[in-house]
Chains A and B, each alone.
Chain A
């Protein structure tokens, strides 16, 4: 679900983790003969493992009119194989004390089990089984179509019952009019309702294959232990020779107009204001992404930041104010500003004060002290991130699935610490330049609706 509703929580989560090469924490990697990549992340604190398989397919790879297929298919992967009966996958995992789930993004699809380390091989054999031997139930009353109804309920719950999520869908469509990031991962309701078993089969046969997959095992294991297990389970699967289209990624076009989007709903009790620009990503422009992270932390990352101090503390015009970017997507992600007005303040007054402060910051630049504090802070997050075994598996899986490398993860601390004050402010001046178009979004109570 974290891939479907991303809010500031996701945006502010640590993007990288520390692991000194050569230490007992150092990742180990190898590739199976069929092309499947393997990453092992040792963490010997508890006798458990996190086992993940990442597929290099996501919502960007859906054909027009088939929105939501990658995500619905992720659900269907839990249904049935030639060896496992209906719903038996989950039964076996939980009967072995395992926790399991999966998630779908625009850029990737991932499945995981967390389990005692002596059950790892069983998890690997089951995950390998459904990579190639899934059975889709063609009965019009059968499990595929019931799962489609479940996804429709998921959409009602996650998007349609949340006014801010509804507005966010409109924003993404406006930011990415000709790019798949403009299409919701969970899909449009009418398109999800029309997806068929045949759509699922075509998707599976096209995209699910060992050379399209990355195995990540984090926890109380070593590469020497994982390799023979991986060879015996995943390694025996032949690579698919079915032709695949290129991934749906493409360069993000600059916005050609500035738009104001509003969404009003009787459930909204507190107006909110956001402004979105097209930012960057580590894949698109790594130097810019590092510098942007540091610059945004100084400008609007938390209570010590310039925006918070000016708008919340000094002017008392807002109760929250932040600047953020989403740089871990494959293609350029959004970047921007968010603020919630204090009681009695209009969104127009809030916007004017927010933009005045941003413009003043871009004009004046940052002190070296503030930049050093922010980059140290971002680098230290990488040390704390190590505490979560599942978080580490997620981090490496996501970086590799979006075309990055292990080395990129390992050098994060050094690169973030090397961002200079000039680079930090220049990154903001580039992304938020005065001639850039943007998308504004106002979340409003019903009675204040524009029309």
Chain B
């Protein structure tokens, strides 16, 4: 494949929730969705946007839902998310939010893990949860014909999860192996080194360890589940062949068993340490060096956010159209790919990048990255580069809305970041409003090489 870096620019503006519903497997339905719907009527506020017609409603029991009705394929993508992820793991129990998420489809009610998984396979559905840094999320895919039974199974999972010892110990075995495997993963080592240099004492820098994997108990996980999955922080989105009236009672059923609220620790804003002037070296025996770098970035609330987003396309976010790719790959053949990105959300904002090159070229690679940053700081971008960046970023935006799964993920991203139901419609105008003057000002403010900390993982030469 020619591009290493997927041009997922559309997705970049609504990160936070990259849930890809698993392809789920077959069966027959006993209870019809229509029957389940008979008991309720909901008031639906429809936002007829450019990219999706979004129905907002509150269920009879008070759950706020965003739905995009898409009848053309008989499937439904369903997502739930709660603020609070791995960053709120108790000290010494790092990995506990992930442990909670792991157990959520490992048995519930009368069904042990095998019976639960078998029931999902019989219904041709999937359901699973995960914990990211700031969010705990669950997602499901189901056939429209099986919606009632599928949501019923999800209700059992959410309200009566078993957290049996068998699956818990299996997870522990997997976790211990995962901790060992990380030790030679170049990307993990690079991010660990950056965290240690820039925010060593913040919860965002903590990871599951062998000790924490061994320490956590079933009781810890069950108690933590009731802290993470509560009604008053619940966000729900759905896309597919189902109406608001049909969906509302199924959602009420699914979340009825959750506690109303919980106390979670507040995560402090990350106070980044000064950049490290010399590259941090991490030795790893392999033929290539991974060169990774990060600097302070911008939160979405920053008035310069879209300016930086457009600038990042020219720097390293635009695939072959980016300056780093043109210089390091196209002109010099030094790498299969290099990319840069803005990370935001939660309590940390960075501007970062990474690429790999053969060990003996690591010094040249590093020099070129720095030179390109200096050029942007000193000379800015051209009118043509700015207009190309805007043309791509706005023109490709509809590509992020061509599947139910993508729309469901985008909806959840907007809800998590509280961008407003009209965000999709406003987004391209915000990109178009960026001026050359602003781009060049932001380049000089943010892209000076001495703002960046560099990490090199491998056996680099030529430094």
Interface residues of A (CB under 8 A from B): 1-4, 13-14, 24-25, 43-48, 74-75, 78, 87, 90-91, 94-104, 114-116, 119, 143, 145-150, 152-154, 156-158, 160-161, 219, 265-270, 302-304, 309, 312-313, 316, 319, 340, 342-343, 373, 375-381, 383-389
Contact = CB atoms under 8 A, between A and B. Distances in A.
B336 A158 contact: yes
12 contacts: A14-B23, A46-B401, A146-B332, A153-B357, A157-B336, A160-B287, A269-B180, A269-B183, A312-B170, A319-B177, A387-B403, A389-B402
A368 to B, nearest CB: 14
Contacts of B2: 74-75, 78, 101-102
A385 B23 contact: yes
Given A153-B334, A383-B73, A46 B114 contact: no
B288 interface: yes
Contacts of B114: 303-304, 309, 313
A380 B124 contact: yes
Q: Most chain-A Cβ atoms within 10 A of its Cβ — which of B318, B388, B396? A: B396
Contact of B358 (A96, A156, A219, A265): A156
B183 A376 contact: no
A268 B392 CA distance: 41
B176 A343 contact: yes
B420 interface: no
Interface string B379-422: 00000000010011011111101111100000000000000000
Contacts of A387: 73, 75, 77, 403-405
B428 to A, nearest CB: 10
Contacts of B398: 46-48, 97, 116
Contacts, number: 214
Contact of A376 (B3, B124, B285): B124
Nearest to A90: B320
B448 to A, nearest CB: 27
B70 interface: yes
Given A96-B395, A146-B332, A319 B173 contact: yes
B223 interface: no
B253 interface: no
B70 A45 contact: yes
A355 B73 CA distance: 41
Given A102-B1, A147-B333, 10 more contacts: A78-B320, A87-B330, A94-B396, A97-B396, A158-B336, A266-B184, A303-B114, A304-B117, A375-B26, A384-B141
B218 interface: no
A156 to B, nearest CB: 5
Interface string B156-194: 000000000010011001101100110110100000000
Given A153-B335, A156-B287, A157-B288, A384 B170 contact: no
Q: Most chain-B Cβ atoms within 10 A of its Cβ — which of A25, A91, A383? A: A383
Contacts of B405: 387-388
Contacts of B32: none
A380 B181 contact: no
A4 B23 CA distance: 23
Given A161-B288, A380-B25, A95 B399 contact: no
Contacts of B329: 150
B396 A99 contact: yes
A153 B2 CA distance: 12
A388 B170 CA distance: 33
Contacts of A46: 51, 398-399, 401-402
Contacts of A303: 113-114, 117
B287 A94 contact: no
B403 A161 contact: no
A27 B334 CA distance: 43
Determine the main DSSP class of A at the interface with B: mixed
A119 B320 CA distance: 20
The 7 closest A-B pairs by CB, nearest first: A97-B395, A376-B26, A377-B25, A149-B333, A1-B1, A380-B124, A267-B184
Nearest to B361: A153
B181 A269 contact: yes
Contacts of B173: 316, 319, 342-343
B166 A146 contact: no
B26 A90 contact: no
Contacts of B220: none
B3 to A, nearest CB: 5
Q: Most chain-B Cβ atoms within 10 A of its Cβ — which of A153, A316, A380? A: A153
Contacts of A268: 184
B177 A379 contact: no
Contacts of A3: 1
Nearest to A218: B402
B25 A101 contact: no
Nearest to A44: B72
Contact of A160 (B51, B113, B286, B402): B286
B355 to A, nearest CB: 9
Given A153-B336, A313-B166, A161 B143 contact: no
B397 to A, nearest CB: 8
Contacts of A103: 1
B320 A95 contact: no
A347 to B, nearest CB: 14
B121 interface: yes
B333 A97 contact: no
Q: Most chain-A Cβ atoms within 10 A of its Cβ — which of B173, B332, B399? A: B399
Nearest to A151: B336
Given A48-B402, A270-B181, A373 B121 contact: yes
A43 B404 CA distance: 12
Given A46-B402, A319-B173, A384 B396 contact: no
Interface string B48-71: 000100000000000000000010
Contacts of A153: 288, 333-336, 356-358
A383 B74 contact: yes
A219 B402 contact: yes
B436 interface: no
B261 interface: no
Contact of B75 (A14, A340, A384): A384
A98 B394 CA distance: 10
A420 B196 CA distance: 57
Given A91-B388, A157-B336, A267 B285 contact: yes
Contact of A266 (B73, B75, B170, B285): B285
Q: Most chain-A Cβ atoms within 10 A of its Cβ — which of B23, B321, B334? A: B23
Given A380-B26, A380-B124, A161 B1 contact: no
A267 B286 CA distance: 8
Given A160-B287, A389-B402, A97 B392 contact: yes
Given A46-B398, A46-B401, A381 B1 contact: no
Contacts of A114: 399
Given A146-B331, A161-B286, A383 B75 contact: yes
Interface in B96-123: 113-114, 117-118, 121-122
Contact of B24 (A4, A149, A158, A384): A384
Nearest to A117: B398
A25 B72 CA distance: 9
Contacts of B1: 1-4, 101-104
